[in-house]
């Protein structure tokens, strides 16, 4: 009897266990479905979030990231930006540039006329990160023949109320050899990758590609003088050209940096002429590739000085003029309650715009439109860029406006230009004011 009951009880227990297992199996199907739905949702939202955050047009950069970065010391914030762009952590412009923005400069195609001014990437460390933001041209430097530490810190200041920047960096950079090796290495690395993708030899690609290693973008290299050089000397510019020129779509001769005392070419016509003559002669003696030579001038020259500079540029067949560098002056009406503008150094940003625009217009007229002018100084909107184009700028450059509006500024300007042009081409309006 006991055995029968035990056996009966055992059978009931086994049946109950089986029933429990059967009930658990039926209940796990909805759980698995919920897990799949949850995981898929997280993946989709994460992917969309990634696409948004890494897009240059995302508002998070202008309204969240940039204000947070501005809480840092200005130079530390700058170095952080370079580090992020160098390591591929910057946003990307994923939209093709509109045809109305396409231009040709020195026989080379550019997808848009908005470039980055020198001073941001002094050592050529973040070239591709900067191109990815959407720039048509990126200018690195200024680079001197030898490494320089620059002036003591603090040496970079924000004038927030005027959306301006003051710097007395002192041309700190790694020197021509180190920067040159970095730029060359990037160039050949990019060509090797293209060779693998396209099945062409590196040699054949090198013969026809821009020095930016991008079909529709230009890489400029800005060269200047070491602090130890004599004020009248031009050899540093020649050395910079010889070291870096073969890997630049254009080379900028910085004769107007206000933060280095021995650069006299911007203020002394005789020194300027000997400098231009020496650099153009050295470029013409380069064995193979010969980059365009561009002169960067300051905004403080009067009309007579500009006339002399324009004539020298024409006489020596300079290929372009950047108008302008920073200024030691402080334009009237700057909003500066904290008196930051009392700091010594070159002023850039919105207060410089009127001086830079006037210089651009003057240089275009004085050169009769024969030399491309690159407008630079205080450009922060599409309307500003359009004004510079009508004044004679074939291309414009920005820098300080990114300090306040973030890495999406270039796309903001490009998008605005497409609307303002209303179907006309950028190249058709260059110098329009001078022709009217």
As a whole number of angstroms, the distance between CA 18 and CA 167 comes to 79
Tokens representing residue 66 in the block: 């940039």
Please provide the DSSP assignment of 256-300 as one string.
--TT-TT--TTT-HHHHHHHHHHHHHHHHT-SS----EEEEE-S-
Q: Is 373 helix (H, G, I), strand (E, B) or coil?
A: strand
As a whole number of angstroms, the distance between CA 73 and CA 81 comes to 12
As a whole number of angstroms, the distance between CA 246 and CA 5 comes to 98
Average pLDDT, 10 consecutive residues per value, the chain (436 residues): 41 43 55 81 76 88 95 97 96 97 97 98 98 98 96 96 96 98 97 91 88 96 93 94 97 89 71 96 95 96 94 97 96 90 95 97 97 98 98 98 97 98 97 88
Tokens representing residue 95 in the block: 């939209």
pLDDT (0 to 100) of residue 265: 62
pLDDT (0 to 100) of residue 314: 98
- C-alpha distances (whole Å) from 84 to each of 67, 126, 129, 156 are 16, 9, 8, 20
pLDDT (0 to 100) of residue 49: 75
Q: Is 143 helix (H, G, I), strand (E, B) or coil?
A: strand
The rounded radius of gyration (Å) of the Cα atoms in the chain is 29
As a whole number of angstroms, the distance between CA 61 and CA 72 comes to 16
Tokens representing residue 169 in the block: 């960096």
Specify the residue for token string 């150094």.
345
Cis peptide leading into residue 231 (ω within 30°)? no
**b/e 402-435 (16+ beta carbons within 10 angstroms → b):** bbbbbbbbbbbbbbbbbebbeeeebeeebbeeee
């Amino acid at each position: 009897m006991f055995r029968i009951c035990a056996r009966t009880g055992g059978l009931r227990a086994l049946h109950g266990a089986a029933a429990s297992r059967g009930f658990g199996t039926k209940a796990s199907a909805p759980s698995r479905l919920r897990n799949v739905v949850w995981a898929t949702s997280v993946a989709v939202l994460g992917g969309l979030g990634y696409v948004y955050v890494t897009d240059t047009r995302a508002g998070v950069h202008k309204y969240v990231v940039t204000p947070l970065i501005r809480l840092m010391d200005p130079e530390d914030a700058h170095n952080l930006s370079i580090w992020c762009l160098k390591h591929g952590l910057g946003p990307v412009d994923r939209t093709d540039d509109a045809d109305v923005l396409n231009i040709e400069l020195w026989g080379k195609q550019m997808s848009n006329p908005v470039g980055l001014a020198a001073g941001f990437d002094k050592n050529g460390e973040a070239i591709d990160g900067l191109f990815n933001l959407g720039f048509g041209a990126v200018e690195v430097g200024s680079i001197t023949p030898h490494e320089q530490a620059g002036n003591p810190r603090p040496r970079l200041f924000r004038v927030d109320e005027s959306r301006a920047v003051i710097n007395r960096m002192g041309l700190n950079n790694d020197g021509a050899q180190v920067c040159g090796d970095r730029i060359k290495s990037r160039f050949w690395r990019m060509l090797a990758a293209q060779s693998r993708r396209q099945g062409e030899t590196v040699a054949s690609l090198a013969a026809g590609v821009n020095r930016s290693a991008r079909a529709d973008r230009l890489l400029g290299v800005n060269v200047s003088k070491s602090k130890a050089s004599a004020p009248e000397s031009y050899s540093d510019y020649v050395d910079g050209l010889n070291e870096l020129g073969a890997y630049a779509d254009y080379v900028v001769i910085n004769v107007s940096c206000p933060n280095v005392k021995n650069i006299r070419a911007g203020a002394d016509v005789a020194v300027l002429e000997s400098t231009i003559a020496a650099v153009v002669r050295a470029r013409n003696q380069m064995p193979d590739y010969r980059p365009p030579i561009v002169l960067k001038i300051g905004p403080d020259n009067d009309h007579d000085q500009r006339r002399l500079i324009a004539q020298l540029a024409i006489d020596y067949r300079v290929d372009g003029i950047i108008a302008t560098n920073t200024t030691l002056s402080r334009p009237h009406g700057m909003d500066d309650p904290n008196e930051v503008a009392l700091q010594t150094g070159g002023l850039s940003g919105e207060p410089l715009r009127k001086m830079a625009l006037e210089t651009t217009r003057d240089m275009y007229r004085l050169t009769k439109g024969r030399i491309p002018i690159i407008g630079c100084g205080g450009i922060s909107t599409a309307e500003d860029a359009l004004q510079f184009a009508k004044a004679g700028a074939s291309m414009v450059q920005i820098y300080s406006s990114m300090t306040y509006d973030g890495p999406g500024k270039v796309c903001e300007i490009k998008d605005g230009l497409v609307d303002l042009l209303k179907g006309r081409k950028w190249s058709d309006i260059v110098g329009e004011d001078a022709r009217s």
